[in-house]
Structure 1
Amino acid sequence: MTEAKMLEKKIWSNVLNEELDLLIYLPPTFSPLSKYPFFLVQDGKDYFQFGKLARFADELVDDKTIQEAIFVGIPYKTVEDRREKYHPDGPQNEAYIRFLAHELVPYIEDNFPTYHMGASRFLMGDSLGASVSLKAALKYPHAFGNVILHSPLVTDALMELAEKADPALTKIFHVVGNGETEVETTDNKVANFLEPNLELHELFQNRGFDYYFQEFEGGHRWKYWQPFVKEALQFMLDKEQFATENMSV
């Protein structure tokens, strides 16, 4: 198997007024002469370490089952920093979403060969990282056409965004565990993740989104999310389907 390349970069954000680290995965046969879809991955270090994102991507590319892609992991600095940026009510949440859409997307497209279209851009996250990914996808549907959700915290505001969104613009992968009824949150509270996720599932399904959902056996842990990293890649990057959808590019 040819080895993928991992790059460590930094980007200055004017909207956040800070420098952010990036972990960038380039596929095994990366060529500047080709074009690639790309993923912006919240909790970036966790997805590579606990979600085995690079390993799964390598395996599926080697099996010729998925389209090769670039993965841009965005690690959080501290638990507090993560909550401020990722929580739908966090003080930096709106600015972080603007950073994703208006600063990080142009940076990636200026430095790597991509399709420059929403249908080939993906957001991905777990828990609060899934919440901010969903909010960004619903607020900027022409910038981000796809979102992968591993057990998001679902708020009333997110439900309202989903109710108003155009189902034709967003493809969604969504999983949650049947044991996520009493999840300890980073502000030392306990929340029921399962019930709001099931309500969100019903809304997505009824509104006709291009949508995958599974309620898995387990709780709010990487142990249970990890297999659904691979499933998400298979759903989003199926080689034949992706080629068909992007033939006009």
Structure 2
Amino acid sequence: MEQKQQKRIIKRESIQSQYLLETKEILIYLPPGYDETVTYPGLILHDGTDYFNLGRIATQASQMIINGEIIPLIMVAVPVNKEVRTAEYSPLGHRNQEHQQFIVEELLPLLKERYPIDLSPQGLVIGGSSLGGTASLHLALRYPQHFVKVLSQSGAFLEATTEQIIQSPSLSYLTIYQSIGLSETAVSTHMGSLDLVTRNREIHRLLQEKHAHVHYREKEGDHTWGLWQKDLPEALTFFFGKDQPVNELAR
């Protein structure tokens, strides 16, 4: 039997998106002990390059897997051109629909074809920070057949998010890890200064009213990777704690 690799592997995949009209260079994290005969839960990350470089999520996840704190998972880092980030991630952005179509109609099929990743709604988490958290929640609101688990760190929630939640029927299918830094009361954005603490508290309340399962955390920190990096172990444990099942693929 071929020996399993004991170190993480980062692979690269290129997707020529017909929706976004650009090439996306996706990073795929394969965990320590990776075995292609095993189906792994997955985590898709907006601002994925920043999560790998600034959030150190690959290093943190690998150590947690080795320590037995979380089960092995496959992580998918989706990069974004910062010049069009708001256009793609904001629910009001003129490229937002195309971004959602890229995720659902181009990224998911590639992952299904090439990796043993559990793409069922219960096996997959989608997440991000700031507008990446917003984009992740809106994907779950629009495509509950694909996404029911959301990681949102310091979500930059807008009125469009509030309105969509209010207009939604029951969100009992949704599980969300939602964190916010207590110093995020005047975050500078292209839309002006935003009080993200107040906005996250409001979204938390609305999600609860719609019967979503919300793990809500307020922590000391500002709208920076310093906060999000420190917050990641709790988020990873919430979704991928060691009691979660890992399934054998049919041979």
Q: CA deviation at 1:12?
A: 1.3
Please give the residue correspondences for 1:80-119 in structure 2 after superposition, counting only pairs within 5 Å. 80-119=83-122
Task: Compute the displacement of 1:68 (Å).
Answer: 1.0
Cα offset, 1:165, TM superposition: 4.9
- The Cα shift of 1:188 comes to 6.6
Cα displacement (A) at 1:114: 2.2
Given that 2:90 and 2:135 are in contact with CA atoms closer than 8 Å, whether structure 1 keeps it comes out as yes
Which residue is equivalent to 1:177? 181
Instruction: Give the 4+ runs in structure 1 shifted more than 6 A.
Output: none
> 1:1-249, aligned counterparts within 5 Å?
2-77=6-81, 79-163=82-166, 164-185=168-189, 187=190, 189-240=192-243, 242-243=244-245
Which residue type is aligned with residue 63 of structure 2?
E
Whether the 8 Å CA contact 1:120–1:145 is kept in 2: the answer is no
Give the whole-Å Cα distance in 2 for the aligned partners of 1:152 and 1:115: 26
Q: Distance in 2 between matches of 1:47 and 1:17?
A: 24
Q: What is the one-letter code of the residue matched to 2:179? A: V
Secondary structure of the 1:243 match is coil
**Would you say how many aligned residue pairs link Structure 1 and Structure 2?**
244
Over the matched positions of the two proteins, sequence identity in percent amounts to 30
Which has the larger share of helix?
1
Query: Structure 2 CA distance, aligned partners of 1:120 and 1:95?
Result: 24
Tell me the amino acid that sits aligned with residue 4 of structure 1.
R
Distance (whole Å) between structure 2 residues aligned to residue 17 and residue 172 of structure 1: 31
Deviation for aligned residue 1:22: 0.6
Structure 1, unaligned stretches of length 5 or more? none
The DSSP-based 3-state class of the residue aligned with 1:148 is: strand
**TM-score normalized with structure 2 length:** 0.91
**Contact 1:142 / 1:169 at 8 angstroms: preserved in 2?**
no
Root mean square deviation, CA, Å: 2.0
Q: In structure 2, how many angstroms separate the alpha carbons of the residues matched to 1:60 and 1:212?
A: 20
Deviation at residue 112 of structure 1 after TM alignment = 0.4
Partner deviation per Cα, 1:116-157 (whole Å, 9 max, x = no partner):
311111111000111111111111111012110001111222
Deviation of the 1:205 alpha carbon: 2.6
Quote the offset at 1:34 in angstroms: 0.6
Q: Aligned equivalents of 2:164 and 2:71: distance in 1?
A: 30
